[in-house]
Amino acid sequence: MSEDIQRNLADGILELRLARPDKKNALTNAMYRALTAALAEASADPAITAVLIGGEGDAFCAGNDISGFLPANRTNDAMVFIRAIAGFDKPIVAAVQGLAVGVGTTMLLHCDLVYAAPDARFTVPFAKLGLVPEAASSLLLPQRIGQAKAAAMLLLGEPLDAESADRAGLLTAIVPADGLFAHARAKALALTALPPRALAETRRLMRGDRAAIDTRLGEEEAAFAAALAGAEAQEAFTAFLEKRAPVFTREGAK
Ligand code: COA
């Protein structure tokens, strides 16, 4: 387990905390691997009913660690995690405070119950970074919040604040920040009291068209890999790491 992922198993709930607060819980390859391993553990252990995901500090997750996008650091750890959470077979409850950027937002599309503090702010700035959506968000976000709202997020990179996200259907509820994690945990605990077969079947029936999600994941993975290798993304990442604004040219754009 990566030290940047805290794991606690109690009362049938596997709690996973993103714990890299000085970097706004940006996900490194090691963190993705730890999350994937934890999901596999939760799936295999009949004593675990639900997974609870939260973040330490003032942000839920600033997305993929940008340095992980650079050619020397690239692995398929993020993709493996996304496949794991998309195909996970038990309920996931999320507690979101502050920023949820990129995969910090798109992973929530695969969670069953999402509780957010009033300061939560959701962004999916893939296009701005020279990238394309991942985690089947190009399919699931329009389905969830509507095509027009999803376009503002995915094309323009516009944020949704907690109120707007709640109204749009991204959230289960907004919860005061000081009781957020306890509230999410209480809801996860409520799941453990339900008849297990009915819970599993209800969730399976609610999970939408799995084949369509798998197909879209494959399409996004191909487009993402192509974008990652392209000049636009490399300029965006270099600019972020050099703390300057990116400069994009129209040359070669279609
Ligand atoms: N990858 C790597 N480092 C990140 C990061 C990321 N995704 N997000 C934040 N950090 C780092 C910052 O570089 C900074 O590091 P430093 O203290 O060594 O300079 C630290 O985390 C704190 O972030 P900072 O930018 O100072 O906080 P902020 O509150 O001003 O802004 C964000 C927070 C999340 C808006 C901003 O950091 C950001 O835009 N991050 C990139 C988000 C992103 O594009 N993610 C990828 C989506 S695919």
Q: What is the pLDDT of residues 187-232, one digit of tens each?
A: 999 999 999 999 999 999 999 899 999 999 999 999 999 999 999 9
pLDDT at site 71:
85
Residue 185 lies in a domain: no
Q: How many CB atoms lie within 10 A of CB 74?
A: 14
Look up residue 144 and give its amino acid. R
Q: Is the CB of 149 under 6 A from ligand 1?
A: no
Distance 113 CA to ligand 1 centre (A): 26
Residue 65 lies in a domain: yes
Tell whether the torsion through CA atoms of 104, 37, 204 and 14 is positive or negative: negative
Question: How many CA atoms lie less than 13 Å away from 220 in the CB half-sphere?
Answer: 23
Distance 61 CA to ligand 1 centre (A): 9
Residue 236's pLDDT band (cuts 50, 70, 90): very high
pLDDT at site 2:
83
Residue 213 lies in a domain: no
Output the six-digit token pair for 92.
């996931």
Residue 120 lies in a domain: yes
Residue 219 lies in a domain: no
Q: Is 112 exposed, middle or buried (0-12, 13-18, 19+ CB in 10 A)?
A: buried
User: Whose C-alpha lies nearest to ligand 1, atom 39?
Assistant: 62
Domain that holds residue 124: 5-177+195-199
Cα 35 from Cα 103, distance rounded (Å)? 13
Residue 145 maps to which CATH number? Answer: 3.90.226.10
Residue 254's pLDDT band (cuts 50, 70, 90): very low
Give tens-digit pLDDT for 18-57: 999 999 999 999 999 999 999 999 999 999 999 999 999 9
Residue 78 lies in a domain: yes
Q: Whole-number mean pLDDT of the chain?
A: 96
pLDDT at site 146:
97
- Domains of the chain: total: 1
Residue 64 lies in a domain: yes
Residue 251's pLDDT band (cuts 50, 70, 90): low
Residue 240 lies in a domain: no
Give tens-digit pLDDT for 72-83: 888 999 999 999
